[in-house]
Amino acid sequence: MAHVTALPAHRPAGSLGRVWSWLRRPRTFALSPARGLAAAAGVAAIVFVAARSATKAVPTAAGDRTPVEFLLVAPRAASVMLVGDFND
């Protein structure tokens, strides 16, 4: 073990190595319960807004159309109605 500890420590070269070493350095910080709850609520709000904006359909171009086929097999149906929001 003494031989291993006597080996020179690896030091990353260049500014990128120094930045990487600074980023990997352990840090300690403390939060009060109220601030921790506020931080968690803020992160949850950001995730919620990002998820909602990702699910909205965005048209690629004006007049761009995608054919959709609705198929219902109901031989005894007297009438059929299709209801929905097809243009956002």
pLDDT value at position 47?
A: 92
Distance CA 32, CA 43 (A): 17
Length of the chain: 88
Share of the chain above pLDDT 70, in %: 80
Residues 63-79 have pLDDT tens digits of 667 777 888 888 898 98
pLDDT value at position 43?
A: 93
Distance CA 55, CA 59 (A): 13
Averages of pLDDT over each 10 residues, the chain, 88 residues: 73 76 86 90 92 67 71 88 76
Q: Which of 55, 58, 31, 56 is nearest to 43 (CA)?
A: 31
Q: What is the pTM of this model?
A: 0.35
Is residue 22 within 8 A of residue 15, CB to CB? The reply is no
Is residue 12 within 8 A of residue 18, CB to CB? The reply is yes
